[in-house]
């Protein structure tokens, strides 16, 4: 069950977008199979960046490439990405199995292969035995596991996590990060995650992208950027400068 | 700290307010029925004729046409609400919304004539088909006409209420739908339907009750006495046969039957598990294909034409009237100001009582959820239910019954005509409450769930809470509810017709008077004035409340 | 603070609505609302009577004649009404049985209605005939008899009123009964196919007719007079029926309470003379029952004159009304 999808490169070139007063300008590239953590103060454009990649927002100018495909105008469903939100990932009236199966067929018409994929995904995120539960009978962490399982069955090379673990406790968060790490090792997908915890990036040994005022203020390996030699703006954000 | 250990029933002022609002409704309807019942029991020859074949037929027809009208209104409203929600931004969307509030404000007779001006034997469609060489003449007299008119009245209402449900869907769901590439059908089944279904029993109940009590529409467009509702029989018993006992018995029958159907709705439309976050946004993230876009546009245009054409018919015939002369008549101005004052007062009372009802229900429900003593659960949930549906039952108590009952009662306390304005206000306020409650409740419940704990912790209570916390959130729905209630009162005729003293001459009263003395053109002009007033009211409500809308949608 | 100000304003406005009673001698008259409307007979009648009596007339209006009687019954002996004006022949028996009315005791020699009407309690003030009114442009060959109406071309529709909720509706029911007697049900069964719809009241029916929904409507022989005099329009005509037209007489009477008010008898006498009767034709659109000071507008001469006058006995009506309505319901509901 190791569909080694392999990641895809995500590249934004001269992408301009404005949201109300806020003007954003993104120019960045995340190599295939890389894990990148996006951090920055609130309102710096983190979620918007993911929305642009996922196709929920359309840039005013510039291009977005995923792999070799120009997706600037591609509808969300046709983009090779999956996204997990902080909440509302699950439909309250559908059980775990159905919520995951949606990733294979939005109409819930499943082939035998689909069923097998769903079953395996449930096992991989550690939810075996809870297939028939409704979301209300799940803990916060379990709900997010379901969402990740759905991303798995979708088999897309890019996974976007929009503060997906923000409402979980520290231990649970680490568990989820470990899950991501393991899945990443298995599938080699490209992961972009928005987080308020820079240490997540360290934990995942990820690249770090630091946004400020709608532009990429710094990027590089997490261990470099978060060290004493890191840029001033990042230190201000971290609260490590006096 | 929030109390968690021993749980006791907290009597809050909110519950008392809710109880007062409920008591007002019960007193209004119960007092009238009691007074009439008492009067009937004194009358020795009030031999109440049993439930004969005629009444069986009437009762069957009443329920059948109301059910059919409800299903049609709601069924047709679904695609319209979906299409309107899918397209959040297009030219004239706000106008469509205001227009959709208008039919409710029209007296039934005006609406009937508006509908015949389009679908009648001498209407637009008949003329168009003839000039195109087809011999087709629509025949709406019969059940089709009744359904047409009821859908005209209730489809816009259903659309507006459904949109409230759709608005409560979290934005993440739309993103998810876009990403998973859900088609229209799947999106409907998985996202939209569960949201709408939560409010559906309420919407259906409201429309059902409006159709059950239909009188003018059923008789005028029904084509013959086969189309007779219980309301007609009640009117006949009270106004024509002067058989008070029978009128009361029929009213109770109507109440019982309605209650039975309402509980049926509740069973079928069981609220789905709530799993929505409170973040409300009206952004949609899907990129609709050309096909879906086209279908949605067609649906919106169809609905718009369906609602707007009869209204346009009213406008056209209204413009043929000598508006200049009408507007120079003192009686017309007096009727306008009487209507406005009565309508505004009724709307104010209605919104205030509705708010009390909504707040009371929420307080009781919150108490129940907190887990109170077992013995009190029964009472609490009964009270909650009474605050919930009990209130709307006022719609199926005919105004003529309320009027006559109170007329008999008030006679002992002075000149009943002196009370006429107060009766009109009370009845109109009561009749508008079910609508106001539907408008206020979602916002109130959401806001309470969001703020209750915070306010408890910060010690923000009473007036301060209302001013600082609730008012900014409630301002918009309050404005809409006020406008709705006032428009409803503006178009009301039932109550005034009974008290019918010259002391209270409202616009619809004047309209019917002119119509009843050959002044059809004047009546058409007055209908136009009435429509313009209502539309103006809706625009004012929109504008007034928009200013207060918090700019929290910015991220 | 807006709500408080608003409430104060509303309260003032509401108090203003209930007009205070005048200090002068008052005569309280209950009537139907189209009588007191400002284009109805009420204002002129009030002016003319008040000129000669140094008193005030206070009108209290109900929706129609039936509502009028019901209100009186609801109020019983404690009614404020001195005079009730606006009952018709169909309601006479019921009104008499209520025991709320007293003999008028006035000279009614000026009253002259077709077929004559003598009663110790009720005094006629105007009358009219029910008639099928048609649009002469759309209906080239109007029915000339009830038989033709009943059996004629079913594609030419008529709007009628409901006898359960309106006076003209009951009028047509009695008209058919007067012509067909026990065969009325059979006639209704045929007429049913020509009936476009059964409106709850005259206003709804006439509204549909004027909008061209049907070429015929049940109304009065005097209806065309309104269109000629006010609208300057002679499109609308009443059809004269060979079997005759059904007569409606409108009546007024003094209540038991009213006998204590000397103005009541004075008003009834005034009612039979020109001060009242001159006003009636072109405001109430009915024929005056008493003496007028000048001939009627020539438009009234162009109206159809009934070949025969039909009217059932008030007692029979009171006794059979329910059964006849049931018969109508059964025939029309097939």
Which is it for strands A207-212 and A215-221: parallel, antiparallel or unpaired? antiparallel
Model confidence band, residue A112 (pLDDT cutoffs 50, 70, 90): very high
Cβ A56–B178 below 8 Å, yes or no? yes
Q: For residues B474-497, give the mean pLDDT.
A: 81
B552: pLDDT strictly greater than 50? no
B551: pLDDT strictly greater than 60? no
Model confidence band, residue B366 (pLDDT cutoffs 50, 70, 90): confident
Both C82 and C115 in one domain: the answer is yes
For residue B297, the distance in angstroms to the closest alpha carbon of chain C comes to 33
Q: Does C touch A (3+ CB pairs < 8 Å)?
A: no
Q: Which residue of A has its CA nearest to B181?
A: A77
Cβ B178–A103 below 8 Å, yes or no? no
Both C108 and C256 in one domain: the answer is yes
Highest averaged pLDDT of the listed ranges B43-52, B169-178, C66-75, C320-329: C320-329
Coil, helix or strand for C272? Answer: coil
Pull the structure tokens for residue B278.
């409170």
Both C92 and C140 in one domain: the answer is no
pLDDT digits (tens, 9 = 90+) for B179-220: 888 888 888 888 888 888 877 888 898 899 989 988 888 888
| Average pLDDT value for chain A | 88
Q: Would you tell me how many other CB atoms lie within 10 Å of the CB of residue B10?
A: 14
Q: For residues B298-306, give the mean pLDDT.
A: 93
Per the CB < 8 A criterion, the answer to whether B493 and B508 are in contact is yes
Q: Which residue of B has its CA nearest to C14?
A: B421
How long is chain C? 334
**Domain holding C278: CATH number?**
3.40.190.10
Predicted pLDDT of residue C146: 95
Q: Is pLDDT larger for residue B503 or for residue B554?
A: B503
How long is chain B? 555
Both C227 and C320 in one domain: the answer is yes
Both C210 and C227 in one domain: the answer is yes
Model confidence band, residue C68 (pLDDT cutoffs 50, 70, 90): confident
Q: Is pLDDT larger for residue A158 or for residue B278?
A: A158
The angle, 0 to 180 degrees and rounded to 10, between the axes of the packed helices C167-180 and C314-332 is 90
pLDDT digits (tens, 9 = 90+) for C21-64: 445 689 999 998 888 887 889 999 999 999 988 899 988 888 77
pTM exceeding the 0.80 threshold for the entire prediction: yes
Q: For residues A6-17, give the mean pLDDT.
A: 91
For residue B483, the distance in angstroms to the closest alpha carbon of chain A comes to 31
A66: pLDDT strictly greater than 60? yes
Q: How far apart are CA C158 and CA C193, in angstroms?
A: 10
Coil, helix or strand for B3? Answer: coil
Q: Neighbours of C (≥3 Cβ pairs closer than 8 A)?
A: B
Model confidence band, residue B311 (pLDDT cutoffs 50, 70, 90): very high
Chain B partners within 8 Å of C1 (Cβ): none
Q: Report phi then psi at B416, rounded to 5.
A: -60, -30
Chain C partners within 8 Å of B417 (Cβ): 18, 60
Predicted pLDDT of residue B400: 80
For residue A14, the distance in angstroms to the closest alpha carbon of chain B comes to 22
Q: Does A touch B (3+ CB pairs < 8 Å)?
A: yes
Provide Rg for chain B, Cα atoms.
24
Both C171 and C95 in one domain: the answer is no
Cβ C197–B500 below 8 Å, yes or no? no
Instruction: Tell which residue, A175, A143, A233, A192, has the closest CA to residue A32.
Output: A192
Query: What's the DSSP call for residue B272?
Result: P
Predicted pLDDT of residue A22: 85
Predicted pLDDT of residue A50: 93
Q: For residues A17-40, give the mean pLDDT.
A: 90
C2: pLDDT strictly greater than 50? no
Per cent of chain B over pLDDT 90 is 18
Chain B partners within 8 Å of C70 (Cβ): 238-239, 242
C102: pLDDT strictly greater than 90? yes
The total of structural domains in chain C comes to 2
Cβ C59–B502 below 8 Å, yes or no? yes
Q: For residues C244-250, give the mean pLDDT.
A: 94
For residue B131, the distance in angstroms to the closest alpha carbon of chain A comes to 47
Q: Which residue of C has its CA nearest to B137?
A: C213
Instruction: Tell which residue, B195, B200, B201, has the closest CA to residue B266.
Output: B201
Helix (H), strand (E) at residue C127 = strand C122-135
Give alpha helix (H) positions in C181-271. Answer: 184-191, 202-210, 223-229, 262-271
| Average pLDDT value for chain C | 88
In angstroms, how far is CA B397 from the centroid of its own chain? 14
Coil, helix or strand for C135? Answer: strand
Q: Is pLDDT larger for residue B145 or for residue C73?
A: B145
Per-position DSSP letters for C294-322, written without gaps between them:
SPPPGGGGGS---SSEE---HHHHHHHHH
Pull the structure tokens for residue B220.
């005028």
SS (H, E, C) A197-219: CHHHHHHHCCEEEEEECCEEEEE
Q: Neighbours of B (≥3 Cβ pairs closer than 8 A)?
A: A, C
Pull the structure tokens for residue B360.
């009371």
Predicted pLDDT of residue B500: 55
Model confidence band, residue C136 (pLDDT cutoffs 50, 70, 90): very high
Query: What's the DSSP call for residue A134?
Result: -
**Which string of b and e fits B58-95 if b means at least 16 CB within 10 Å?**
bbebbbebbbbbbebbbebbbbbbbbbbbeeeeeeeee
Query: What's the DSSP call for residue B468?
Result: I
Per the CB < 8 A criterion, the answer to whether B535 and B449 are in contact is no
Q: How far apart are CA B247 and CA B249, in angstroms?
A: 5
Predicted pLDDT of residue C5: 42
Coil, helix or strand for C88? Answer: strand
Contacts of B48 (CB under 8 A, 6+ apart): B40, B243, B245, B246, B249
C255 lies in some domain: yes
Per the CB < 8 A criterion, the answer to whether A45 and A58 are in contact is no
Q: How far apart are CA B430 and CA C5, in angstroms?
A: 23
Predicted pLDDT of residue B81: 93
B2: pLDDT strictly greater than 50? no
Which is it for strands A35-39 and A190-194: parallel, antiparallel or unpaired? parallel
Predicted pLDDT of residue B176: 87
Query: What's the DSSP call for residue C191?
Result: H
pLDDT digits (tens, 9 = 90+) for B92-110: 888 888 888 888 878 888 8
Predicted pLDDT of residue C64: 78
Per the CB < 8 A criterion, the answer to whether C145 and C304 are in contact is no
Model confidence band, residue B508 (pLDDT cutoffs 50, 70, 90): confident
Predicted pLDDT of residue C169: 92
Both C105 and C200 in one domain: the answer is no
Both C179 and C77 in one domain: the answer is no
Both C42 and C107 in one domain: the answer is yes
B50: pLDDT strictly greater than 60? no
Per cent of chain C over pLDDT 90 is 65
For residue C102, the distance in angstroms to the closest alpha carbon of chain B comes to 22
Burial class, A122, CB count within 10 angstroms (exposed 0-12 / middle 13-18 / buried 19+): buried
Cβ B273–A81 below 8 Å, yes or no? no
B34: pLDDT strictly greater than 60? yes
Both C141 and C87 in one domain: the answer is no
C3 lies in some domain: no
Model confidence band, residue B501 (pLDDT cutoffs 50, 70, 90): low
Pull the structure tokens for residue B206.
């409201």
C181 lies in some domain: yes
Query: What's the DSSP call for residue B467?
Result: I
Q: Is the ipTM of this complex over 0.95?
A: no
Domain membership of residue C31 as a residue range = 26-127+248-301
Helix (H), strand (E) at residue A151 = helix A140-154
Per the CB < 8 A criterion, the answer to whether A82 and A159 are in contact is yes
Q: Would you tell me how many other CB atoms lie within 10 Å of the CB of residue A148?
A: 24
Predicted pLDDT of residue B544: 65
pLDDT digits (tens, 9 = 90+) for C292-310: 999 999 999 999 999 999 9
pLDDT digits (tens, 9 = 90+) for A185-238: 988 999 999 998 888 888 888 899 999 999 999 888 888 888 888 888 888 888
C15: pLDDT strictly greater than 60? no
C76: pLDDT strictly greater than 90? no
A117: pLDDT strictly greater than 90? yes
Q: How far apart are CA A114 and CA A116, in angstroms?
A: 5
Option in B109, B501, B503 nearest C204 (CB): B109
Both C120 and C30 in one domain: the answer is yes
Helix (H), strand (E) at residue A162 = strand A158-162
pLDDT digits (tens, 9 = 90+) for C149-191: 999 998 999 999 999 888 899 999 999 999 999 999 999 999 9
Domain definitions of chain A by residue range:
1-80+158-241, 92-155
Q: For residues B460-476, give the mean pLDDT.
A: 77
Cβ C198–B225 below 8 Å, yes or no? yes
Both C270 and C208 in one domain: the answer is no
Q: How far apart are CA B123 and CA B313, in angstroms?
A: 9
Per the CB < 8 A criterion, the answer to whether B346 and B489 are in contact is yes
Pull the structure tokens for residue A121.
């995904």
In angstroms, how far is CA C313 from the centroid of its own chain? 18
Predicted pLDDT of residue B377: 53
C5 lies in some domain: no
Predicted pLDDT of residue C78: 81
Pull the structure tokens for residue C260.
């204590």
**CATH of region A1-80+158-241, choose from 3.40.190.10, 3.40.50.300, 3.40.50.10540, 1.20.810.10:** 3.40.50.300
Which is it for strands C245-255 and C122-135: parallel, antiparallel or unpaired? antiparallel
Predicted pLDDT of residue C229: 92
């Amino acid at each position: 069950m190791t569909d080694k999808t392999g990641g895809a490169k995500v590249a934004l070139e001269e992408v301009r977008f404005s949201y109300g007063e806020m003007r954003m300008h993104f120019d960045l590239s995340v190599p295939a199979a890389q894990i990148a953590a996006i951090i920055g103060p609130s309102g710096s454009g983190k979620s918007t960046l993911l929305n642009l990649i996922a196709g929920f927002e359309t840039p005013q100018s510039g291009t977005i490439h995923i792999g070799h495909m120009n997706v600037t105008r591609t509808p969300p469903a046709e983009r090779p990405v999956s996204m997990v939100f902080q909440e509302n990932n699950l439909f309250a009236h559908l059980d775990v199995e159905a919520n995951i199966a949606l990733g294979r067929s939005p109409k819930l018409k499943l082939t035998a292969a689909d069923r097998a994929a769903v079953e395996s995904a449930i096992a991989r995120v550690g939810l075996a035995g809870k297939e028939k539960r409704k979301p209300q009978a799940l803990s916060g962490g379990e709900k997010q596991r379901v969402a990740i399982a759905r991303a798995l069955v979708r088999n897309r090379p890019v996974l976007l996590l929009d503060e997906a673990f923000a409402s979980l406790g520290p231990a649970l968060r680490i568990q989820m990060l470990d899950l991501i790490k393991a899945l990443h090792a298995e599938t080699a997908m490209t992961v972009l995650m928005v987080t308020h915890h820079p240490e997540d990036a360290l934990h995942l040994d990820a690249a770090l992208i630091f946004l400020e005022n709608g532009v990429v203020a710094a990027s590089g390996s997490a261990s470099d950027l978060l060290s004493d030699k890191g840029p001033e703006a990042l230190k201000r954000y971290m609260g490590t400068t006096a | 700290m929030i109390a968690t250990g021993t749980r006791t029933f907290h009597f809050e002022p909110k519950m008392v307010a809710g109880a007062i609002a409920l008591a007002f409704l019960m007193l209004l309807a119960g007092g009238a029925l009691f007074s009439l019942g008492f009067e009937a029991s004194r009358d020795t020859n009030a031999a109440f004729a049993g439930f004969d074949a005629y009444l069986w037929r009437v009762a069957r027809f009443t329920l059948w046409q109301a059910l059919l009208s409800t299903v049609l209104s709601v069924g047709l409203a679904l695609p319209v609400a979906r299409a309107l929600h899918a397209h959040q931004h297009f030219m004239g969307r706000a106008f469509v919304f205001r227009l959709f509030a208008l039919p409710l404000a029209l007296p039934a007779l005006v609406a009937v004539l508006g509908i015949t001006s389009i679908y009648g034997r001498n209407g637009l469609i008949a003329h168009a088909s003839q000039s195109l060489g087809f011999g087709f003449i629509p025949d709406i007299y019969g059940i089709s006409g009744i359904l047409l008119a009821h859908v005209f009245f209730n489809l816009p209402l259903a659309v507006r209420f459904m949109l409230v449900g759709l608005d409560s869907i979290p934005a993440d769901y739309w993103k998810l739908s876009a990403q998973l590439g859900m088609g229209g059908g799947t999106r409907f089944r998985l996202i939209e339907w569960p949201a709408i279904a939560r409010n559906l029993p309420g919407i259906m109940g409201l429309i059902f009750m409006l159709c059950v009590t239909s009188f003018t529409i059923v008789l005028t467009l029904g084509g013959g006495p086969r189309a007779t509702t219980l309301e007609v029989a009640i009117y006949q018993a009270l106004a024509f046969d002067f058989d008070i006992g029978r009128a009361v018995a029929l009213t109770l029958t109507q109440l019982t039957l309605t209650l039975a159907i309402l509980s049926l709705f509740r069973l079928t439309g069981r609220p789905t598990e709530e799993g929505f976050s409170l973040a409300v946004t009206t952004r949609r993230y899907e990129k609709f294909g050309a096909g879906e876009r086209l279908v949605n546009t067609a649906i919106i245009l169809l609905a718009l034409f369906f609602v707007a054409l009869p209204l346009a018919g009213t406008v056209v015939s209204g413009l043929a009237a000598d508006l200049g002369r009408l507007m120079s008549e003192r009686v017309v101005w007096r009727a306008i100001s009487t209507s406005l004052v009565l309508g505004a007062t009724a709307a104010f009372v209605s919104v205030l009582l509705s708010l009390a009802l909504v707040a009371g229900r929420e307080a009781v429900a919150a108490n129940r959820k907190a887990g109170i003593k077992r013995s009190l659960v029964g009472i609490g949930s009964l009270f909650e239910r009474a605050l919930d549906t009990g209130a709307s039952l006022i719609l199926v108590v005919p105004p003529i019954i309320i009027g006559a009952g109170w007329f008999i009662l008030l006679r002992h306390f002075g000149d009943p005509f002196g009370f006429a304005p107060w009766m009109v206000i009370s009845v109109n306020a009561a009749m508008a409450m079910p609508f106001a409650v539907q408008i206020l409740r979602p916002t109130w419940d959401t806001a309470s769930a969001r703020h209750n704990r915070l306010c408890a912790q910060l010690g923000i209570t009473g007036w301060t809470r209302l001013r600082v916390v609730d008012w900014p959130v409630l301002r918009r729905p309050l404005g809409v509810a006020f406008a709705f209630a006032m428009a409803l009162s503006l178009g009301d005729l039932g109550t005034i017709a009974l008290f019918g003293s010259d002391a209270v001459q409202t616009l619809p009263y004047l309209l019917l008077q002119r119509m009843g003395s050959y002044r059809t053109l004047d009546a058409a002009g007055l209908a136009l004035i009435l429509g313009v007033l209502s539309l103006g009211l809706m625009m004012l409500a929109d504008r007034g409340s928009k200013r207060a809308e918090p700019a929290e949608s910015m991220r | 603070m807006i709500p408080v100000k608003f409430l104060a304003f509303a309260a003032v406005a509401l108090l203003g609505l209930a007009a205070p009673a005048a200090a002068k001698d008052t005569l309280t008259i209950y009537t139907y609302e189209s009588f007191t409307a400002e284009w109805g007979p009420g204002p002129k009648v009030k002016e003319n009577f008040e000129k000669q009596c140094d008193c005030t007339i206070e009108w209290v209006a109900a929706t129609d004649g039936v509502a009028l009687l019901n209100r009186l019954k609801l109020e019983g002996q404690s009614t404020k009404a001195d005079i009730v004006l606006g009952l018709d022949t169909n309601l006479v028996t019921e009104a008499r049985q209520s025991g709320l009315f007293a003999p008028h005791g006035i000279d009614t020699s000026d009253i002259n209605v077709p077929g004559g009407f003598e009663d110790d309690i009720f005094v006629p003030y105007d009358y009219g005939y029910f008639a099928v009114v048609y649009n002469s442009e759309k209906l080239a060959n109007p029915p000339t008899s009830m038989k033709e109406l009943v059996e004629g071309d079913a594609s030419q529709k008529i709007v009628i009123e409901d006898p359960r909720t309106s006076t003209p509706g009951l009028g047509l029911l009695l008209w058919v009964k007067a012509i067909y007697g026990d065969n009325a049900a059979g006639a209704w069964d045929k007429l049913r196919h020509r009936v476009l719809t059964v409106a709850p009241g005259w206003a709804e029916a006439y509204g549909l007719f004027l909008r061209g929904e049907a070429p015929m409507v049940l109304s009065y022989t005097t209806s065309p007079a309104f269109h000629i005099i006010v609208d300057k329009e002679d499109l609308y005509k009443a059809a004269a029926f060979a079997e005759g037209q059904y007569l409606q007489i409108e009546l007024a009477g003094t209540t038991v309470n009213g006998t204590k008010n000397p103005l009541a008898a004075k008003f009834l006498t005034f009612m039979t003379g020109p001060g009242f009767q001159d006003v009636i034709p072109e405001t109430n659109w009915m024929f005056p029952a008493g003496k007028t000071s000048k001939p009627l507008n020539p438009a009234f001469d162009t109206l159809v004159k009934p070949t025969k006058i039909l009217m059932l006995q008030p007692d029979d009506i009171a006794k059979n009304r329910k059964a006849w309505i049931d018969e109508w319901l059964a025939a029309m509901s097939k």
